[in-house]
A and B are shown apart, each in its own frame.
Chain A
Amino acid sequence: MEQNNHDFSIPQRQPSVAIGIILIKFFRMTIKAMWPILVSLVIGRRAGSTFDDIILYVVIGFAVYNLLGSILTYFRFYYYIKDNAIVLDKGVLKKTRTNIPFERIQTINFSQNLLHQLFNVVSVEIDSAGANKSEISIDALRKDEAIALRDYIMAEKKQLIEESGTEEEKSIIADKSPSDLLLHLKPKDLIKVGVSQNHLRSMGIIFAFVFTTINEITDNISDFIADQLGQYESYVVNNTLFAFVASVVLVTVISFLFSLVNSILKYYDLKLWLSNNGLKLVRGLFNREEVTINKNKVQMVSWSTNPIRKIFKMYTLQIAQASSTEVNAQKSKINVPGSYKHQISKVINMVFPSEYLGAEAKHFISPLIKLRIIFFYGLIPSALGLSTWFLIEEAAFYFLLILPLSFFLGRAYYKKRSYEINEELIRSNSGIVGTENMLTQIHKVQAVRVNQSWYQRRKQLATIKLYTAAGELSIPFISLSEALQLESFILYRIQTDKREWM
């Protein structure tokens, strides 16, 4: 840490490029909040009513307010280090001072969007343990300065813990093993990841976007669609099959391209490092993120695959950290698509005690779940469908196709649903078309719940749910005695384990 050219004890502003970055952030926030008004303005202007002009002034006024706000935000923002804590002074009308002691700092993460990359600056996020408002961020810092700041804080923190930390904390700090690059997503792998994305999901996103946009523009979707369709009616009647095939192809191509581009933007040049303390991840094309994960904070590791990804022998690895607020729950889950099996087992080896890893007996759930699935997803929908007989006559018989579908659904679900348990770990396996596996340490469970529906009570079955600080793990339809044994064993393990869960 010989970079003493940075003196952090004097209050400093961010580099001036931060004004631009804050401004863009503000504008994005404004546009996100007000785009429906903007869209309706553009359309409404053609009508040329005076009311719309008023709205326009309001929008301009709001934008100017934001602009001034961001400039003031920049000039009122200072950061410095004092008494082994990082201090941030900010606030335009209400001044606030945030003070985070070094011991409480968990990780310091950098991220860069396109603008950051152009000016060689990073945005810094400091994640601390405990309290609700656990995250503070600095919009822009020169990269070398940010790295120096992080090194300085981490070195100071290390010293503090050496002086007065617990044994466990010391062992974490003392560990100076270098981190190895475990995974690097090369362009070929990136394309594979893009190709094997869930294209149905992209289709859903596109549809949702198109519909909300139409909804904002016109007041009445059905009128709009009837209008549009009316124009093409004669055309469609003559060319139904062609129109159908063409639109299916078009929608498929668009969703495919959407998910491909999306995954390239998000996962470009993804790198994952492993060290004995935790993991470090860097990814993204325009928006370069860097995330550090502390080993102790990891609550659950999941890996999943879908049929296309399975051809490439790839999995999506998800590492879920404890999140201090509900809002951050999504953010604290880190997805690494395009991981191979051996890489996943290395991550698991590192995060969870490896002496407990091994092949355990698979416990399957009750086959009665197949009947339940056929009942809820087959019988009831097809009965409802048939009851539309008086509306659509013979066409109602098509609803009977749901029945065999639900049969296969139930079979596939039952076949893949199982769990494995040993002294230390519990793992759940599931999936219908793809597969999904979740693994957690038993002592990280926060609460246990046993549910029984009316049907399950009759059949002496139960569903057990385990809540961790990063999501829940549930095992449905196991026999009641099995559920009770699991419940008492897991509770016993939580209550006797002397380790911290975080």
Chain B
Amino acid sequence: MTNHFENLSINPSELPSLEEVNFKPIDPNYLKVSLISSALFFVALVAGAIAIIEFSDFEEKTNGYLISMGAILLFLAANITLTILGFKKKKYALRQRDIIYTKGLIWSVRTTVPFNRIQHAELKQGPIERLYKINSLKLFTAGGQSSDLVIPGLPDDEALSMKDFVLKKTEEDGAEQS
């Protein structure tokens, strides 16, 4: 790789690149959770559409049903495809001094937060996630909401040990600092 930055004391191409890191996929149960929650959403959408058609004075109800259900089906198909394909892109990695999370099928995003910049960590579990015993790990930085890191789909025990590990690392790296 050519060096783009000659003025730096360290050649960035000699630093460990994030491309070579072994990323771990998140728990497959997370895919089920996201599919169930989108199914619930679509049930609500269909119910809403039926209510609108039945309670308003449409002249041609069949046409109304055809158009609305067609649109919803199309939307549902797109949603399911994107959820399934996008799931493979959700991966994370713990390195010696930072934590990385990647996601995004069409717009791929890779966020890296160094341990010595983490303010606090918390675990979150929604009702459907509780059924499958998975958690989301939320890491807060001072960089504001947009830079907070959320890793979904972690099994209960793994999530807990990961949170402890991150907090321990944060303390170590932070203590080194001052």
Binding site for B on A (CB under 8 A): 166, 168, 322, 326, 329, 360-361, 363, 421-423, 445-454, 457, 467-469, 471-472, 479, 481-482, 484-489, 491-492, 494-495, 497-502
B37 within 8 A of A: no
Contacts of A495 in B (CB 8 A): 97-98, 114, 116, 173
Verify B143–A469 contact, CB threshold 8 A.
yes
Q: Known contacts A421-B5, A447-B111, A485-B5; is A472 also within 8 Å of B106 by CB?
A: no
What is the size, in residues, of chain B's interface with A at 8 Å between Cβ atoms?
Answer: 43
Q: Decide if A498 touches B141 in the complex (CB within 8 Å).
A: no
How far apart sit A363 and B143, CA to CA, in the bound complex (Å)?
25
Q: Contact at A451–B113, with CB atoms within 8 Å?
A: no
Q: List B contacts of A421 (CB < 8 A).
A: 5, 7-8
> Are A446 and B116 CB-contacts (below 8 A) given A422-B7, A423-B9, A489-B12?
no
Q: Name the B residues within 8 Å of A494 (CB-CB).
A: 114, 116-117
Separation of A261 and B114 alpha carbons in the complex (Å): 46
Count contacts between A and B, CB distance < 8 Å.
124
* Docked-complex contact A447 and B143, CB < 8 angstroms: yes
Interface pair A484/B178, CB less than 8 Å apart: no
Most central of A329, A423, A457, A491 by chain B CB within 10 Å: A491
Are A452 and B108 neighbours in the complex by a CB distance under 8 Å?
A: yes
Residues from chain A with a CB closer than 8 A to the CB of B116 are 494-495
Tell yes or no: B161 within 8 A of A by CB. Answer: no
Q: Specify the main secondary structure of chain A where it touches its partner.
A: mixed
Instruction: Please encode chain B, from 10 to 40, with 1 for each CB lying within 8 Å of some chain A CB and 0 for all others.
Output: 1011011111000000000000000000000
Provide a sorted-by-A list of 11 A–B residue pairs whose CB atoms are within 8 angstroms: A446-B143, A447-B117, A452-B107, A468-B143, A481-B1, A481-B2, A486-B12, A488-B12, A489-B8, A495-B173, A501-B117
Interface positions of B from 66 to 119, Cβ below 8 Å from A: 97-98, 104, 106-114, 116-117
**In the assembly, what is the distance between CA of A384 and CA of B54, in Å?**
34
Q: Which of B41-49, B57-65, B123-131, B145-153 contacts A (4 or more CB under 8 A)?
A: B145-153
Query: Of residues 148 to 178 in B, which have CB atoms within 8 Å of A's CB atoms?
Result: 149, 173, 176-178
Tell me the nearest residue of chain B to A469, going by C-beta: B142
Q: Which of A422, A472, A492 contacts B15 (CB 8 A)?
A: A492
Q: Which residues of A contact B3 (CB under 8 A)?
A: 485
Q: Please tell me which one of the listed residues B7, B18, B19, B177 contacts residue A360 in the complex, with CB atoms under 8 A apart.
A: B7
Using A363-B4, A454-B106, A484-B17 as known contacts, say yes or no to A447 and B149 having CB atoms under 8 A apart: yes
State whether A485 and B13 are in contact (beta carbons under 8 Å apart), knowing that A447-B112, A447-B143 are contacts in the complex: yes
* Option from B9, B18, B19, B141 in Cβ contact (under 8 Å) with A467: B141
Chain A residues whose CB sits within 8 angstroms of the CB of B104 once the complex forms: 451
Query: Given A166-B178, A446-B143, A488-B16: A423 and B8 within 8 A (CB)?
Result: yes
- Chain B residues with CB under 8 Å of A449's CB are 109-112, 147
Separation of A363 and B114 alpha carbons in the complex (Å): 26
Q: A481: which B residues are within 8 A, CB to CB?
A: 1-2, 4
Contact residues in B for A489 (Cβ distance below 8 Å): 5, 8, 10, 12, 15
Contacts of B141 in A (CB 8 A): 446-447, 467
The smallest C-beta distance from B137 to any residue of chain A, in angstroms, reads: 15
* Closest Cβ–Cβ distance, residue A243 to chain B (whole Å): 43
CB-defined contacts of A451 to chain B, threshold 8 Å:
104, 107-110
> In whole Å, how far is B110's beta carbon from the nearest beta carbon of chain A?
5
Whether A488 pairs with B18 at a CB distance below 8 angstroms is yes
Contact, CB under 8 Å: B106 / A448: no
Q: Return the chain B residue nearest A486 by Cβ.
A: B12
CA distance A468 to B142 in the complex (A): 7
By Cβ-Cβ distance, the 10 closest A-B pairs, closest first, are: A467-B143, A446-B143, A467-B147, A485-B12, A469-B142, A447-B147, A489-B12, A488-B15, A446-B141, A495-B97
